């Protein structure tokens, strides 16, 4: 059942834990005379006894009993135990082991001491100098590590699995690192040697999957008609007397007339208590006598799965099923082998056949439930698990899957109760411990949940995925060193598992090590398909999208932004319903010119697709066209880089403040939380700046309130309210520095309400719905000494959209549509100040629009994504009456592992959007579809791009790429409304982008880009006839492990402007250079950052033409002819 561990990647979420006594242990654990227990017994199998300090009597131990100073614990033959200590250490005790707890140290700083009298223990401790193990011949002092200690009659040894241990006795001492072993005999110093496979010595800790129902479910042995000796042995085993059970079968074998099933059950009992060597030898003897023994083949297959020998596992399991197609044990074994071979649907089919043949077999149903849960069929999995639990209420496997099904179906309280029972029923199984830990964390009890994950890791120390989850919990506790240790162990245990590389990459990014994070996350992407035994194909695509989004955020940190777009396009091509990939795409679009609709739309799609999350959408991102100075956006700090890895019930506060010259002030505050099945966020954003010239000031106030509820695990609803107030002057930046309005003012009041829904009836289908209503009032004023001209525009709009996403095995489909209606009333007033007369003019009209679209992403090969699509638009506002059909085509092709090609050709229609948001996919093969433009503009877009990894080696990593985009636009204009008349003008745009990125060392990143933009404009109402701009930004970034970061950049800009009219300003070309500097510090434990940034360091005065007048948009300023100095403080609590 540990195979399901990998399927829990989507559980990124107790009733509160019980009352706590001294040292954080439950109050019901306290024993008289022991107010400060040093630990507790968390798992026991077989004959385990405890002796209280000061007593000579040994009594049977029970789970959750405390251990106090002076106590002792011992295990019998074929028995095991696990202890959790107050100092966060976990110990596993092998059979025939005796361990004593020394009196508590006099000083707090001194380590706890445990005396190993005889036997074997595995120590799992990551708190340096917190524990010391003594034996008759050698002592082990913990430096923060994992190791084995063996005490025999004439010698003792210490073997380090991970970390460091100091082994000593009066004759000498040695310090051991990973794979080191020290052995000592009486009167001799420890002798050090290297162990090639040190974890082989800990095979007794392994957990083997059961395949015999009669061993797992009480009462089934009698109904199966088994011999009396097996029934008696199983009864002894269930009472914890494993030694007695095996002895009973040994006596039966000694008669020479034992039933052929007796050796099988003896071998299965040996595996159940971790005696793999004995079991394997016995199985081989059985098969030597009878090569067609179905039960022995099934058990050998399970062993092969556990030790990662998939080929042998498949061979034995297929042979067993061939010999006896009705054998439930053979089919269960085959399901494990098929799962290990990444054939989850095959495992499902095998188990469904087994259920059809054995409908009353609870183990078969439990195993089917496990596979269904991995495949994402949560309701079916819960139903199968519930049936198994009804058939065998005391079978731990059924209770475990039932609890996990409740957890993934958003019922963590119920899951906790069921999993606590599973822990009692199956004390050696790590999976219920893992699930219990996740359930506790989801309910906000991070420490208790992490304790359970530590126990799970101790019960299955060789499981890479459990180690990754434990590291993730340490990360959420902001204990990066412990997290790093667990990720390191996980990588060592399974170098092909992508999970620890991914989580470690996230940790390194948060620790100000983005270059190191880059390597880890790239590695996790290359290994993604290795999770196939634990994740369905659909889930693997989800994983790839999530990893790709994380990699993109690292690119942004490094200044390698151009790498992000193809990464996001690939992620969405594989998994179009990835909330992470859509949110990343939105972040990538944020600094780009004329990408506000695309950015805001990707953000909406991310919100509708997201699970419950505590990561809020900042108010500054909820609106478009804010015209904020470069570097002054509070959201540029990246709130969610400080967020938790596990989603859990909690409240979080994020705040960012920016202050600088030009009277620039900004602040953004977000309060967010998760409570049960609901999440909320409330935020405010304020920004003000006087700008760099007269009447260039702007002030924004934005307020947001968001709520989301997971009504079921398949149905999520959300609601959002936004309010915006803006006052601004003339924000355009023209080549002629005097070409601006000194009196023009604009005031905007806008209130928006949004409802959203996501319904996922199956793992392959997602249905989205969005309803947006908005009221927008804008007042524009132009004035001089002789007249005032005001334009009061009142807009009332409603927007309804739906979308369906279907994901097949080699394709996915996104289809949807919407209907929009905007009523507009405009009152234009001309006031003659000399005469006192005013002349109002009122115009009212309604714009109606509808659209439909369909996109198919085909993956005929693993390295090719082909996108084909078609959209249709209808628009009518009394003057325009458009019907547009827009074909789409794109391809993404990984020519080699290091070389990627993208190309696209498509037609677009610029819809009238009330809040600049649409559910339609924003890009085709990484090329933007929704460039900010005049409404109702049609355009043909053609693009081609190539991205390459140019080299990796001792010189670091080098990336390069180039992209060309051509847009042929047809821009309509209203000539008159009465009678209705319109005309259109052509415009062409050519863009060339190239980049070269280099990460020469773990703390340096260098970027160079080239940009060429050319606009040829035939619109006679726009003065700019042609605009050519070349930009070459160069930048160096530095990242120190202590949290310090810095950057320095230089921008070379050349621009040529050709005006249509005879210019009053005779200059048409400008070349200039600006220098930017920045320095900052990441606060410890992901608490935030502080930074200082200077743009245009030398206060260069230059001419620059933005795109506002050409495209009728408010573009985000990129270069301004004034020095800006901005300080930023971001905090997260």
Q: How confident is the model at residue 138 (pLDDT cuts 50, 70, 90)?
A: confident
Report pLDDT for 308.
78
Q: How many whole angstroms separate alpha carbon 1062 and alpha carbon 1052? A: 29
The mean predicted confidence, pLDDT, of the chain is 86
Distance (Å, whole) CA 712 – CA 728: 45
Q: Which residue has the tokens 């996501």?
A: 758
Instruction: Count other Cβ atoms within 10 Å, centred on residue 896.
Output: 9
pLDDT band with cut points at 50, 70 and 90 for residue 1047: very high
* Percent with pLDDT over 70 in the chain: 90
Residue 394 forms part of a structural domain: no
Handedness of CA 905, 568, 859, 373 (dihedral sign): negative
∠ Cα 451 454 458 (to 5°): 140
| Displacement of CA 787 from its chain's centroid (Å) | 59
Give the pLDDT band of residue 104 (cuts 50, 70, 90): low
User: Token match 């319903």: residue?
Assistant: 577
Which tens digits make up the pLDDT trace of 253-300? 888 888 888 888 888 888 888 888 889 999 999 899 899 999 999 999
How many angstroms separate the CA atoms of 926 and 924, rounded? 5
- Which CATH number covers residue 862? 2.40.170.20
Containing H/E element for 833? Answer: none
Is 675 a residue whose pLDDT tops 70?
A: yes
Q: Between residues 966 and 1066, which one has the greater pLDDT?
A: 966
Total structural domains in the chain? 2
- Tell me the backbone φ, ψ of residue 531, rounded to 5 degrees: -90, 5
Per-residue pLDDT band for 630 (boundaries 50, 70, 90) equals: confident
On whether residue 731 sits in a domain, the answer given is: yes
User: What pLDDT is recorded for position 635?
Assistant: 64
Secondary structure letter of residue 527 according to DSSP: T
1065 domain-assigned: yes
Q: Which two tokens stand for residue 225?
A: 């008609």
Q: What is the pLDDT of residues 205-246, one digit of tens each?
A: 777 778 887 776 565 555 567 888 888 888 888 787 888 888
Higher pLDDT, 308 or 420: 420
Q: Phi-psi bin for 505: left (phi > 0), alpha (psi -120 to 50), beta?
A: alpha
pLDDT digits (tens, 9 = 90+) for 500-528: 888 898 889 888 999 998 888 888 888 77
Distance (Å, rounded) from C-alpha 98 to C-alpha 78? Answer: 14
CB atoms within 10 A of CB 829: 15
Domain encompassing residue 824: 550-1132
The pLDDT score that the predictor gives to residue 636 is 58
**85-94, 338-347, 640-649, 936-945: range with lowest mean pLDDT:** 640-649
Distances (CA, A) of 821 to 774, 777, 918: 11, 16, 14
> What is residue 42's predicted lDDT score, i.e. its pLDDT?
85
pLDDT at 394 over 50: yes
Taking the C-alpha atoms of residue 859 and residue 863, their distance in angstroms, rounded to an integer, is 8
pLDDT band (50, 70, 90) for residue 1114: confident
How confident is the model at residue 665, as a pLDDT? Answer: 96
Please tell me the predicted confidence (pLDDT) of residue 110.
Answer: 64
Q: Is residue 300 part of a domain?
A: no
Average pLDDT over residues 1123-1127: 95
pLDDT tens figures, 532-579: 555 555 555 556 666 767 777 788 889 998 988 888 899 899 889 888
For residue 679, CA distances in Å to 13, 478, 611, 705, 1009 come to 12, 23, 9, 11, 41
In the chain, what percentage of residues exceed pLDDT 90? Answer: 40
Instruction: Give pLDDT, residue 668.
Output: 94
878 is a domain residue: yes
- pLDDT at position 7, please? 43
pLDDT at residue 1072 tops 70: yes
Domain of 135: which CATH number?
Answer: 2.60.120.1440
d(CA 630, CA 664): 11
Instruction: Give CA–CA dist 1133/781, Å, rounded.
Output: 43
- Distance, CA of 589 to CA of 639 (rounded, Å): 17
- Residue 1046 belongs to some domain of the structure: yes
Under 8 Å between Cβ of 657 and 22: no
**714, part of any domain:** yes
According to the model, what pLDDT value does residue 6 have? 45
Segment 1091-1103 mean pLDDT: 95
Cis geometry, peptide bond prior to residue 979 (ω within 30 degrees of 0): yes
3-class SS of residue 658 = strand
pLDDT in tens, 731-774: 888 888 888 888 899 999 999 999 999 999 988 899 999 999 99
The answer to whether residue 804 sits within a structural domain is: yes
Whether residue 20 has pLDDT greater than 50: no
Return the axis-axis angle of helices 228-238 and 261-272, rounded to nearest 10°: 10
| CA trace torsion 856, 861, 863, 867 (10° rounding) | -20
pLDDT at 637 over 60: no
**Residue that terminates a domain, selected from 148, 175, 204:** 204
- Taking the C-alpha atoms of residue 975 and residue 978, their distance in angstroms, rounded to an integer, is 9
- What DSSP character marks residue 437? H
Give the gyration radius of the chain's Cα atoms: 34
* Single residue among 204, 231, 266 that ends a domain in this structure: 204
Tell me which of 149, 184, 204 is where a domain ends.
204
Do the strands 1069-1082 and 1044-1059 form a parallel or antiparallel pair, or are they unpaired? antiparallel
Backbone angles phi, psi at 721, to 5 degrees: -125, 135
pTM: 0.82
Q: How far apart are CA 704 and CA 683, in angstroms?
A: 5
């Amino acid at each position: 059942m540990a195979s399901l561990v990998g399927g829990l990647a989507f559980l990124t979420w107790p009733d509160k834990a019980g009352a706590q006594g001294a040292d954080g242990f439950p109050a019901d654990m306290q024993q008289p005379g022991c107010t400060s227990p040093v630990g507790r017994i968390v798992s026991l199998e077989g004959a385990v006894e405890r002796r209280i300090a000061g007593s000579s009597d040994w009594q049977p131990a029970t789970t959750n009993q405390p251990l106090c100073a002076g106590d002792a614990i011992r295990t019998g033959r074929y028995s095991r135990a696990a202890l959790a200590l107050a100092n966060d250490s976990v110990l596993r005790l092998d059979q025939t082991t005796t361990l004593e707890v020394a009196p508590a140290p006099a000083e707090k700083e001194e380590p706890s001491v445990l005396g190993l009298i005889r036997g074997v223990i595995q120590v799992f401790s990551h708190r340096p100098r917190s524990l010391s193990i003594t034996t008759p011949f050698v002592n082990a002092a913990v430096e923060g590590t994992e190791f084995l200690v063996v005490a025999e009659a004439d010698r003792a040894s210490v073997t380090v699995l991970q970390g460091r241990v100091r082994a000593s006795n009066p004759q000498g001492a040695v310090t051991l690192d990973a794979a080191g072993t020290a052995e000592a005999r009486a009167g001799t110093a420890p002798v050090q040697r290297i162990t090639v496979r040190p974890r082989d010595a800990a095979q007794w800790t392994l957990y083997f999957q059961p395949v015999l129902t009669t061993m797992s479910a009480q009462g089934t042995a009698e109904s199966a008609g088994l011999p009396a000796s097996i029934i008696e042995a199983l009864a002894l085993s269930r009472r914890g007397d494993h030694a007695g059970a095996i002895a009973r079968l040994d006596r039966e074998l000694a008669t020479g007339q034992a039933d052929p099933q007796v050796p099988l059950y003896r071998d299965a009992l040996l595996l159940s208590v971790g005696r793999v060597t004995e079991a394997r030898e016995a199985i081989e003897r059985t098969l030597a006598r009878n090569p067609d023994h179905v039960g022995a083949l099934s058990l050998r297959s399970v062993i092969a799965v556990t030790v990662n020998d998939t080929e042998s596992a498949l061979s034995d399991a297929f042979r067993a099923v061939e010999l006896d197609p009705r054998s439930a044990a053979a089919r269960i074994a085959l399901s494990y082998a098929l799962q290990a071979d990444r054939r989850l649907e095959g495992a499902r089919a095998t188990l469904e056949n087994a259920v059809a043949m054995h409908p009353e077999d609870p183990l078969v149903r439990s195993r089917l439930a496990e596979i269904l849960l991995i495949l994402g069929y949560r309701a079916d999995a819960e139903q199968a698990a519930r049936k198994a639990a009804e058939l065998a209420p005391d079978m731990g496997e059924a209770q475990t899957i039932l609890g996990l099904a409740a957890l993934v179906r958003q019922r963590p309280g119920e899951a906790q109760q069921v999993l606590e029972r599973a822990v009692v029923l199956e004390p050696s199984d790590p999976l219920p411990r893992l699930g219990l830990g996740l359930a506790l964390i989801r309910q906000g009890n991070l420490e208790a949940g992490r304790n359970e994950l530590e126990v799970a890791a101790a019960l299955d120390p060789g499981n890479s995925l459990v180690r990754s989850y434990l590291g993730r919990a340490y990360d959420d506790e902001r204990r990066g060193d412990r997290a790093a240790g667990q990720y390191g162990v996980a990588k060592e245990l399974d170098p092909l598992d992508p999970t620890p590389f991914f989580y470690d990459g996230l940790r390194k990014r948060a620790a100000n090590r983005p270059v190191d994070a880059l390597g880890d996350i790239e590695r996790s992407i290359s290994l993604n398909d290795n999770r196939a035994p634990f994740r369905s194909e659909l889930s693997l695509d989800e994983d790839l999208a999530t990893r790709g989004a994380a990699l993109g955020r690292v690119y942004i940190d490094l200044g390698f932004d151009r790498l992000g777009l193809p990464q996001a396009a690939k992620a969405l091509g594989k998994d179009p319903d990835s909330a992470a990939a859509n949110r990343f795409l939105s972040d990538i679009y944020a600094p780009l010119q004329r990408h506000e609709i695309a950015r805001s739309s990707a953000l909406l799609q991310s919100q509708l697709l997201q699970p419950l999350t505590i990561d809020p959408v900042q108010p500054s991102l909820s609106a478009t066209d804010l015209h904020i100075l470069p570097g002054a956006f509070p959201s540029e700090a990246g709130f969610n880089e400080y967020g938790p890895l596990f989603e859990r019930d909690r409240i979080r506060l994020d705040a960012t403040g920016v202050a600088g010259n030009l009277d620039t002030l900004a602040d953004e505050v977000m309060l967010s939380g998760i409570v049960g099945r609901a999440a909320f966020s409330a935020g405010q954003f304020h920004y003000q700046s006087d700008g760099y010239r007269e009447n260039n000031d702007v002030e924004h106030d934005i307020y947001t309130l968001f709520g989301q509820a997971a009504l079921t695990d398949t149905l999520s609803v959300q609601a959002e309210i936004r309010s915006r107030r803006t006052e601004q002057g003339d924000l355009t930046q023209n080549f002629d520095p005097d070409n601006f309005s000194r009196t023009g003012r604009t005031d905007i009041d806008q209130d928006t309400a949004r409802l959203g829904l996501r319904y996922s009836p199956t793992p392959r289908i997602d249905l989205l719905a969005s309803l947006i209503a908005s009221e927008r009032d804008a007042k524009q004023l132009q004035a001089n000494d002789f007249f005032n001209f005001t334009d009061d525009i009142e807009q009332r709009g409603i927007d309804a959209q739906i979308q369906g996403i279907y994901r097949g095995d080699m394709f996915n489909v996104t289809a949807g549509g919407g209907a929009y209606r905007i009523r507009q009333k405009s009152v234009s007033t001309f006031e003659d100040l000399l005469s006192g007369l005013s002349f109002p003019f009122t115009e009212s009209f309604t714009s109606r629009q509808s659209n439909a679209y369909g996109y198919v992403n085909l993956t005929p090969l693993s390295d090719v994504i082909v996108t084909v699509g078609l959209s249709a638009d209808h628009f009518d506002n009394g003057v325009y009456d458009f019907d547009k059909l827009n074909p789409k085509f794109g391809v993404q092709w990984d020519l080699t592992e290091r070389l990627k090609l993208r190309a696209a050709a498509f037609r677009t229609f610029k819809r009238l959007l009330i809040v600049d948001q649409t559910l339609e996919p924003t890009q085709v093969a990484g090329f933007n579809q929704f460039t900010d433009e005049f409404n109702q503009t049609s355009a043909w877009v053609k693009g081609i791009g190539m991205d390459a990894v140019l080299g990796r080696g001792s010189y670091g990593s080098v990336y390069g790429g180039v992209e060309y985009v051509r847009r042929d636009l047809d821009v309509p204009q209203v000539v008159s409304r009465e009678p209705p008349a319109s005309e259109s003008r052509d415009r062409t745009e050519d863009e060339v982008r190239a980049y070269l990125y280099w990460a020469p060392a773990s703390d340096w990143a260098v970027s160079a880009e080239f940009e060429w933009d050319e606009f040829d404009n035939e619109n006679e109402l726009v003065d700019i006839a042609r605009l050519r701009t070349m930009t070459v930004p160069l930048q160096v970034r530095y990242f120190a492990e202590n949290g310090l970061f810095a950057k320095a950049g230089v921008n070379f800009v050349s621009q040529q402007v050709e005006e249509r009219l005879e210019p009053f300003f005779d200059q048409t070309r400008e070349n200039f250079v600006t220098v930017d500097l920045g320095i900052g510090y990441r606060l410890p434990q992901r608490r935030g950052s502080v930074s200082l940034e200077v743009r245009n360091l030398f206060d260069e005065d230059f001419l620059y033409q933005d795109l506002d007048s050409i495209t009728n948009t408010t573009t985000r300023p990129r270069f301004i002819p004034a020095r800006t100095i901005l300080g930023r403080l971001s905090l997260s609590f």
